[in-house]
Amino acid sequence: MSDLKFGICPQAFWLNMEQCCWSSNETSFELDKGNCSQWFYWSEILTSSNTGTFAYIISYLFYIIWALLFAALAAGLVKMFAPYACGSGIPEIKTILSGFIIRGYLGKWTLLVKSVGIMMSVSAGLNLGKEGPMVHIASCIGNILSYLFPKYGRNEAKKREILSAAAAAGVSVAFGAPIGGVLFSLEEVSYYFPLKTLWRSFFCALVAAFVLSSINPFGNEHSVMFYVEYHRPWMFFELVPFIGLGVIGGVIATIFIKCNISWCRFRKTSILGQYPVIEVLMLTAVTAILSYPNPYTRMGTSQLIYLLFSQCDVSSNDGLCDYTNEKANIAGPGVYKAMLLLSMAFMLKLILTVFTFGIKIPCGLFIPSLAMGGITGRIVGIFMQQLAANYPHLWVFDNGCGLPGQEDCITPGLYAMVGAAAVLGGVTRMTVSLVVIMFELTGGVRYIVPLMAAVMASKWVGDALGKQGMYDAHIQLNGYPFLDSKEDIVHTALAADVMQPRRSENLNVLTQSSMSLEDIEMLLKDTEHNGFPVVVSRESQYLVGYVLRRDLLLAIENAKRTIDGLLPESLVLFTEVTQQVVPPPLKVKKILDLAPITITDQTPMETVVDMFRKLGLRQTLVTHNGRLLGVITKKDILRYIKQVDNEDPSSVLFN
Amino acid sequence: MSDLKFGICPQAFWLNMEQCCWSSNETSFELDKGNCSQWFYWSEILTSSNTGTFAYIISYLFYIIWALLFAALAAGLVKMFAPYACGSGIPEIKTILSGFIIRGYLGKWTLLVKSVGIMMSVSAGLNLGKEGPMVHIASCIGNILSYLFPKYGRNEAKKREILSAAAAAGVSVAFGAPIGGVLFSLEEVSYYFPLKTLWRSFFCALVAAFVLSSINPFGNEHSVMFYVEYHRPWMFFELVPFIGLGVIGGVIATIFIKCNISWCRFRKTSILGQYPVIEVLMLTAVTAILSYPNPYTRMGTSQLIYLLFSQCDVSSNDGLCDYTNEKANIAGPGVYKAMLLLSMAFMLKLILTVFTFGIKIPCGLFIPSLAMGGITGRIVGIFMQQLAANYPHLWVFDNGCGLPGQEDCITPGLYAMVGAAAVLGGVTRMTVSLVVIMFELTGGVRYIVPLMAAVMASKWVGDALGKQGMYDAHIQLNGYPFLDSKEDIVHTALAADVMQPRRSENLNVLTQSSMSLEDIEMLLKDTEHNGFPVVVSRESQYLVGYVLRRDLLLAIENAKRTIDGLLPESLVLFTEVTQQVVPPPLKVKKILDLAPITITDQTPMETVVDMFRKLGLRQTLVTHNGRLLGVITKKDILRYIKQVDNEDPSSVLFN
């Protein structure tokens, strides 16, 4: 479908240019069909020629029209059938895995629309990737399949294990990186990742990788996306530019995140947010118009990355490989022109991606980040290469480039790879998983130290300039109640300072054996709490247990149907009942949770937050010498953390 | 030092054969010095000849003598200076990271003796590896360095973060596998591994990998240990033998673990355990005598693995590569002879390693496991290769081997790699980390699916045949109090069933304001608990807090020195004191922990065990309606788990 923007294979319209031209044996990158006679550009069909200004304008127009068509389809589908299918989905999946429930977010309509929509939005040539959405698609499949097995479908905690494994499988197929997928799920997506989930994710990713390599969609025997093979190892002094690339990557990522978040905030509050389809169409038109003239933005982003990563050899006919002297690697005019075009492509991609990530169609940010980083890296690489070629006897090159036969000591493609990892690392703040994904993507295990150094530098710079990665920033922007397990705050408060209510006479409790049905129904009507602590008596406040509002409502409703002579003044008993009472009491001992998690009022908040994170609590009861003082809910914890961070506590959204 | 067993470089005795012969440019594997004139075998020095029976006997004798010498040094050092320096250390480090303290286990003497001892024991030619001990060495360094920073040295939890990172660095340098090291620490060693520790371990491993690649000890430009480069991708039908190798690997690993544990148990209970040095020497003598005749056991184990993994090419002169027809890969007599020798080597290694792992010198099991698996894999690989060479038109080979120019469709080296991963996976039960280590070791990212499939199969078979991996089995054998975070037991018990004491009148508590100094000193003398709950009064038993025995003893000792007129009948007050009392009371509110973790007696044991694991508790107090009923300590939890598993609870060792 991407190639439909350029032309068509009349004998078999479903083939892309490469497949269409397989018989003619001579195609290079997408922009040039070589001497293949099966494929027709739109201009060839309409004007029987592919040269000249008129043909160019025809091609240009067709490119824009197709892009708009695809974008309109994607935006329309999302708007009409599944509003949740937009974006990358990773911030929401993180929130879901932390224990929050977003109904319908992983449903079948989302799955369907996202699957079709992502094809459309990628084909439209927008600056977005398919990797994030594929994690969302895999999670939808995991969620839907889990309903086939009651053990998983009915238990939210078990279902989250499935979703963690599904996220791993999603990255596994998106990049052909099974181990990277498992680690991505561990490091970036999942909230709680025990070893058992690790092994299951591993198995899930293995099956995904196996199926992927049987289908072999990348059409190469390596079953990796951007297989590279460099002839030379890296040299020690190169660590300096590699770490430099990490720093640049961190800076680019921070600029990108800040601008994107500002724009998304503006969209939320302005009139623009009410016309998502129009926004998509306008952005697509601008993207298509600005991208077509520059060959590096016109080609698909994956192809651009492949080109940037690859090493020049005799068969390369791109301007990037126009060296005047095959041996000495002195750049020719083609290289300088390519660098200029690449710089323009970088600026364009950076600006357009800022506006693209967050629009109401499926869109991921792995591929645009890799492309931005790849361009930066390639430019730095060519600069280093020219330095080495022109001044081979500088002391830094001493043990490598000065010797005869060692002139090609700098590989610009490697710099592109390192730069790509740096920007992606800065944007997502991944470390281990990113390095593994990078070498599964490229096969470059030998370059693990450069990759690690750049990713580490990028993460540090990113953390120093702006605390959050893109996903966390979007979680905050949307106000999802996500309790970050990474943050490490110095807490000075005690549980007593955070618990609700502030004054204990306002505490809504049930007593175990002295409240009437009327009292309880009144309490249920007056309050909105999800549950109530049960105490021995109002005076003593000794804690007995905890009962959920839902269970209490059900029990009362049930009792009204089944118990004869139930009066408003009937007692509601949470205790064992032995003797006969009139009017007949409502016995509800069964619905009482006798093992609520409790803490004392003197517990430091550090411990409390830790318990909420590790045990996945929704609330805890606060006691003093056995007497109930109050309740701390997850909402209170989130509000407290916002306060500690000097942020507006009301920005967190609840249900 | 390993090469000293064979001969010497008279001009520079510290060089090994390869380094000694660098000038002569023609050496292959260690067993053959080629035409290098710098290196002298011991037989050459003594008899001026390297051929004939006499020379063979001389060499044989020297080999045994050197081996005994090295082994005696290693065993003597361990016995005299640091008994903790023996073994691999990984089971103990796992236990330490789970919260148990073994004094001196990570001290400077252990570090010193283990560093020297591991060189000796590897040089002695025993069937052991240096990888596990290097994790121990790295952890010692981490522990010792942490004392330089009070923030870490004084806080056991913080120190454990350092140890996790150190374990990652240990594997990072042992294999040149930084990412694999981080994952090894995560999957195998660490108990609690938050994302922050992940990033720190990542950084630690990065620095380790960088230093390693600056030193470049493997002397190749890939800075990986067993760099392999196969010419052909794997084919789908090969997944069947790969999974088969996984199954075989799991079986071999189970046999190995069971035999080794039986032998270790026998050693513990028999007289043998009292003469560790003699055991080491006897084992070394047997190993040397049996290993020398077979070239595959005579060479260093790392070299054997390298040989097994590598692909035959024109320059290979080992019997393994004796193919009659270069093109068709029909095996010649050399291959069959090599296979026979390899089978014998496998049996010998299996038997000797069973007796070796656990003796009182530093010894790891990565390298022997890899060697056993490599031999198995290579044999299966050659079998598959001959099948393909002789029957290229079988349907399974249809899309690969039948075509002209595709005769070398099976790579036996790849099978060796997969087999090695399978056995190591079965022995240690690693999954993700093992796959990453394997491709960092070999550079074979293309073979990730075969590796994953074999490792998964091996883990399943291993888990089915015997529940525990080698490290967990040794933890159990030694009775370390390790609370396994992987196990998933179905619990039916409640906290009330497990807590101590069984009858609440036996509960040793302090009251907050009614006990005299005399009472408390009596209680301290009569009991051995590490701490005591403090309640409002003996009658009500409402819980106030928890006080540690150590703090109480210190406070009393201090008070006796400083407070005038302190009498045995002075009250010990855990409350705020306002009015004057005579005799002067002992005010100890400060030492009272007002925030002990409590649970109710109705809490299911599943939740209790989960809280102990995730929060790293040492004890929890059990209450009912705010009244204290009893205490559950980690000891009780471990005893309970043993009972659920139908094992002897007394086998757990406590301090």
DSSP output for B17-37: HHHHTGGG----STT--TT-S
- Name chain A contacts of B544, Cβ cutoff 8 Å: 625
Residues of chain A with C-beta less than 8 angstroms from the C-beta of B436: 179, 436
B439 at interface of A, judged by CB pairs closer than 8 A: yes
- CATH number for the domain whose boundaries are A236-277+295-478: 1.10.3080.10
C-alpha B415: how far from chain center: 25
Please indicate whether residue B184 or residue A530 has the higher confidence score (pLDDT): B184
Lowest-confidence region among A412-426, A607-621, B136-150, B572-586: B572-586
Q: Which residue has the higher pLDDT, A510 or A253?
A: A253
Whether residue A406 is predicted with pLDDT greater than 70 in this model: the reply is: no
A238 inside 8 A of chain B by CB: no
Torsion from C-alpha of B243, B244, B249, B252, nearest 10 degrees = 160
Mean pLDDT over each residue of chain A, to the nearest integer: 85
Q: Which of B502, B489, B500 is nearest to B606 (CA)?
A: B489
Reduced to 3 states (helix: H, G, I; strand: E, B; else coil), residue A331 is strand
Average pLDDT over residues B585-606: 87
Q: Hey, is the C-beta of A489 within 8 angstroms of any chain B C-beta?
A: no
Res A367: pLDDT: 93
Q: Which residue has the higher pLDDT, A192 or B410?
A: B410
Q: Show Cβ contacts of residue A91 under 8 Å, excluding neighbours closer than 6 positions.
A: A471, A472, A474, A475, A478, A480
pLDDT of amino acid A655: 44
> Looking at the predicted structure, is the pLDDT value of residue B510 above 80?
yes
What are the tokens at A395?
Answer: 């002391």
Q: Which residue has the tokens 């400083």?
A: B562
Please say if the pLDDT value at position A496 is more than 50.
yes
Pairwise CB contact (< 8 Å): A603 & B595: yes
Least confident stretch, B430-434, B457-461, B569-573: B569-573
**Token pair recorded at residue B458:** 């091996």
Pairing of strands A515-516, A571-573: antiparallel
pLDDT digits (tens, 9 = 90+) for B132-144: 999 999 999 999 9
Please name the member of B203, B222, B449 whose beta carbon is closest to the beta carbon of A446: B222
Is residue A231's pLDDT more than 60?
yes
Percent of chain A whose predicted confidence (pLDDT) is above 70: 91
Q: Which residues between 172 and 191 in chain A have a beta carbon less than 8 angstroms from any beta carbon of chain B?
A: 178-179, 182-183, 187
- Local structure of residue B260 (DSSP, 8 states): H
Determine the pLDDT at residue A568: 83
pLDDT exceeds cutoff 50 at B250: yes
Q: Which CATH number fits domain B495-651: 3.10.580.20, 1.20.1280.50, 3.30.360.10, 3.10.129.10?
A: 3.10.580.20
Query: Tokens 């804690």 appear where?
Result: A543
**Distance, CA of A5 to CA of A319 (rounded, Å):** 23
What is the spatial distance between Cα B435 and Cα B449, in angstroms, rounded to a whole number?
A: 9
pLDDT score of B429: 92
Give the span between the Cα atoms of A330 and A587, in whole angstroms: 89
Which tokens sit at B279?
Answer: 């055991």
Sheet holding B531-535, edge to edge: B510-511, B531-535, B543-548
pLDDT for A158 equals 84
DSSP state letters, A223-276: --TT----SS---GGGHHHHHHHHHHHHHHHHHHHHHHHHHHHHHHHSGGGG-H
Residues A195, B439: C-beta atoms closer than 8 Å: no
Q: How far is A551 from chain B (nearest CA, A)?
A: 19
- Counting one residue from A and one from B, how many pairs have CB atoms under 8 Å apart? 171
Interval B274-292 mean pLDDT: 94
Give residue A29's pLDDT.
45
- What mean pLDDT, rounded, does chain B reach? 85
CB within 8 Å of chain A, chain B residues 492-511:
495
Specify the pLDDT at position B406. 64
pLDDT digits (tens, 9 = 90+) for B285-315: 999 999 999 999 998 898 899 899 988 776 6
Sign of CA dihedral B162, B167, B171, B177: negative
The residue among A173, A179, A489 with the most chain B CBs within 10 A of its CB, best to mutate, is A179
The residue ranking higher by pLDDT, A237 or B181, is: B181
B27 pLDDT above the threshold of 50: no
Q: List the single range of A223-232, A292-301, B229-238, B352-361 with lowest mean pLDDT.
A: A223-232
Tens of pLDDT along A543-553?
889 998 888 89
Residue B224 scores a pLDDT above 80: no
Q: Do A432 and B196 touch (CB under 8 A)?
A: no
d(CA B359, CA B266): 12
> What is the pLDDT at residue A355?
94
Better pLDDT: B345 or B8: B345
pLDDT given at position A222: 53
Given this model, what pLDDT does residue A314 score?
66
Q: E strand or H helix at A523, and its extent?
A: helix A517-526
Given a cut of 80, whether residue A583 has pLDDT beyond it is no
Least confident of A56-60, B123-127, B241-245, B394-398: B394-398
> Which residues of chain B make contact with A448, given a CB cutoff of 8 A?
178-179, 209, 440
- Alpha-helical (H) ranges within A599-655 are 605-615, 634-644
Contact B170, B134 (CB under 8 A): yes
* Three-state SS at A561: helix
Cα dihedral A133/A135/A137/A140 (nearest 10): -130
* Lowest-confidence region among A470-474, B279-283, B394-398: B394-398
| CA dist., res. B418 & res. B469, Å (int) | 19
Amino acid identity at B78: V
Measured between CB atoms, does B218 come within 8 Å of chain A? no
Distances (CA, A) of B271 to B260, B265, B474: 17, 12, 20
Which pair of tokens denotes residue B548?
């540690």
Enter the tokens of residue B437.
């280590």
- Cα–Cα distances (Å) from A636 to A91, A92, A549, A609, A619, in that order, read 22, 21, 19, 10, 9
Q: Is the pLDDT of residue B29 over 50?
A: no
Name residues whose C-beta falls within 8 Å of residue B157's C-beta, 6 or more positions apart in sequence. Answer: B616
pLDDT score recorded for residue A191? 76
Residue of B nearest to A435 (CA): B179
Flag whether pLDDT at B88 surpasses 70. Answer: yes
Tell me the H-state helices in A270-365. Answer: 276-291, 295-298, 301-309, 333-356
Q: Which residues does chain A have within 8 Å of residue B536's beta carbon, measured at their own beta carbons?
A: 625-626
Question: In A, which residues are within 8 Å of B610 by CB distance?
Answer: 615
Q: Which of B66, B63, B21 is nearest to B40 (CA)?
A: B21
Given CB atoms, is B54 within the 8 Å cutoff of chain A?
no
pLDDT in tens, A187-202: 888 877 778 888 889 9
Amino acid at B306: Y
Give the residue from A635, A59, A625 showing the smallest Cα distance to A293.
A59
Q: Looking at the DSSP assignment, which residues form a beta bridge with residue A362? A: A87
Q: Are β-strands B619-624 and B627-633 bridged in parallel, bridged antiparallel, or unpaired?
A: antiparallel
Arithmetic mean of pLDDT, A147-160: 85
CA B436 to CA A557: how far, in whole Å? 57
Tell me which residue of B646, B128, B163, B548 sits closest to B349, measured CA to CA.
B128
- Residue A552 to chain B, least CA–CA distance (Å): 20
Give the per-residue pLDDT at B226.
Answer: 76
B519: closest CA of chain A, how far (Å): 23
For the segment A240-247, the average pLDDT, to the nearest whole number, is 95
Torsion of CA A608, A612, A618, A624, to 10 degrees: -20
Where exactly are the structural domains of chain A? 82-215, 236-277+295-478, 495-651
Tell the CATH superfamily of the B236-478 domain: Clc chloride channel (1.10.3080.10)
Closest-CA distance, A234 to chain B, in angstroms, reads: 9
Residue B489 binned pLDDT confidence (cut-offs 50, 70, 90): low
Is residue B164 very low, low, confident or very high in pLDDT (cuts 50, 70, 90)? very high
Structure tokens at A455: 């990713």
Considering only residues A23 and A265, tell me which one the structure prediction assigns the higher pLDDT: A265
In this predicted structure, what is the pLDDT of residue B30? 45
Judged by CB atoms closer than 8 Å, whether chains meet at B449 and A206 is answered as: yes
* A432 or A51, which is more confident: A432
Alpha helices in B82-130 (DSSP H): 90-97, 108-123
Per-residue model confidence as pLDDT tens digits over A20-41: 776 655 544 444 666 677 788 8
- Asked if the model's pLDDT at residue A262 lies above 50, the reply is yes
Candidates B196, B221, B456; nearest CB to A203:
B456
Taking the C-alpha atoms of residue A28 and residue B518, their distance in angstroms, rounded to an integer, is 93
- Residue A591: is its pLDDT beyond 90? no
Using CB atoms, which residue from B431, B595, B600 is nearest to A202?
Answer: B431
Using a CB–CB cutoff of 8 Å, tell me whether A516 touches chain B.
no
Residue with the bigger pLDDT between A26 and B401: it is B401
Exposure pattern of A222-258 as b/e (b: 16+ CB <10 Å)?
A: bbbbbbbebeebbbebbbebbbbbbbbbbbbbbebbe
Interface of B with A in 112-171 (CB under 8 A): none
- The residue with greater pLDDT, A579 or B31, is A579
Query: What is the rounded average pLDDT of the residues B529-543?
Result: 87
Structure confidence by residue, pLDDT tens digits, A498-517: 888 877 667 888 888 888 88
